[in-house]
Amino acid sequence: MEQLILAEGCNVAEVTMCAPAEVSELFQFAAPWPELAAWFTRTQMLILLIPVIVIGLFWLALRNPKLVPGKLQMAVESAYSLVRNDIGKDVIGPGGEKYVPYLLSVFMFVLIGNFYEITPFVNFPVTSRIAIPGFLAVFTWIIFVVAAVRKQGLAYFGHLIWPPGVPIALKPLLGVIELVSTLLVRPFSLAVRLFANLVAGHLMLSLLLGTAGTFIWASLTNPEIGYGKGALGIAWFVMGLGIFMFEMLVAFLQAYIFTLLSAVYIQSSIHPDH
Amino acid sequence: MDLAAAEAIKGGLLVMGYGLAAVGPGIGIGIVVGNAIQAMARQPEAAGMVRTTMFLGIAFTEALALIGFVLFFLA
């Protein structure tokens, strides 16, 4: 899809890299069947596919659980144990079991959404649209504020504005810093971290691999463009492959970081003395 | 400087702005990972905990660089 966007606007003889006129063109898609609903774009279809994939994966892996697991069961169990033990229990501590369903849902959603970026015929990470990381961050925000209010009552906000255990001269300043940092910066940074990582990755992959394809194709089929552009296309392709491998790591890492930070925020709400 | 010339270098200024914004987190992540490597070398049995905390630190410092990257497109 992006190959078409890049190829049609690209003057291969002139430029070193094909780039669309407006970078957001690489991130927006028209609705394939406009008479169905204007919001039912490719992005929406991919989002609706994520729970189908997650439920299908877990069902396939765990419908006949064996004591000595096969490969799929092992993979799914290791993802579950990562979220439940290493993130849920170790980070949140006692009382963390309640939050594992939410953490597992967030982890699997972000993981599959990120993996769309490296899936062959899709190549569009769903989490690169700000609404999705935005709303996931809003859920984490609501959960950790409500957990804190349930645990400490409304004194939670009092402790944010007037932190205990701090010299009296610093209390106002530290209060403002802590209030802004806890209630505003946390969800904002959670969303933007995931969003910007994925936007950067998608942009680099689209430009590098799309340019490589366009250049190599033009160099082979168009007689007036010499083999120099073809060689440049191969160079972009090699760089694109390197970035592709890096994006595989980034996809998993960003899902892990989002879940880990959600757990850390929940832990700081329900165990404030740490 | 007239308006047309100012418009022409706007993109260059944006890129320079992002470049400046990436210096701090670059140094910061280097410090975090360097100290994590040292800690893992001094006490290998704590490597798991150190690694988890290292990823946490990287996420926090990288967020600043990424906010700069997003603002590059926003302006």
Per residue in A115-126, pLDDT (tens digit) is 999 988 888 899
- Two tokens at A113? 């959404």
Q: Which of A129, A184, A197 to mutate to test the interface with B (most CBs of B within 10 A)?
A: A197
Contact A192 B59 (CB under 8 A): no
The DSSP letter of residue A274 is -
SS3 B13: helix
State how far the Cα of A118 lies from the Cα of A122, in Å rounded to an integer.
Answer: 8
The domains of chain B are located at: 25-75
Contact B56 A196 (CB under 8 A): no
What domain range is A262 assigned to? 38-270
Query: Where are the extended beta strands (E) located within A36-150?
Result: none
CATH code given to domain B25-75: 1.20.20.10
**Which residues of chain A, if any, have pLDDT below 70?**
1-9, 12-14, 21, 30-37, 274
Q: Which whole-number Å values give the CA distances from A123 to A30, A46, A172, in the listed order?
A: 16, 11, 49
Residue A209 in contact with residue A237, Cβ under 8 Å? yes
Asked if B73 is an interface residue toward chain A (Cβ–Cβ < 8 A), one would say: yes
Residue A187: CB partners within 8 Å, gap ≥ 6?
A: A137, A138, A140, A141
How many domains is chain A built from? 1
SS3 A154: coil
Residue of B nearest to A186 (CA): B60
State how far the Cα of A31 lies from the Cα of A134, in Å rounded to an integer.
Answer: 22
> Nearest-CA distance from B75 to chain A in Å?
13
Instruction: Identify the pLDDT of residue A141.
Output: 95
Handedness of CA A83, A87, A90, A94 (dihedral sign): negative
Output the tens digit of pLDDT for each of chain B's 75 residues: 678 787 878 888 888 989 999 999 999 999 999 999 999 999 999 998 899 899 889 988 888 888 888 888 887
The DSSP letter of residue B1 is -
State how far the Cα of A69 lies from the Cα of A84, in Å rounded to an integer.
Answer: 18
Instruction: Identify the pLDDT of residue A248.
Output: 93
Handedness of CA A240, A245, A248, A253 (dihedral sign): negative
Instruction: Identify the pLDDT of residue A68.
Output: 84
Instruction: Identify the pLDDT of residue A41.
Output: 80
Which of A29, A35, A78, A40 minimizes the C-alpha distance to A58?
A78
Contact A253 B55 (CB under 8 A): yes
Contact B52 A260 (CB under 8 A): yes
State how far the Cα of A192 lies from the Cα of A195, in Å rounded to an integer.
Answer: 5
* Residue type present at position A263: A
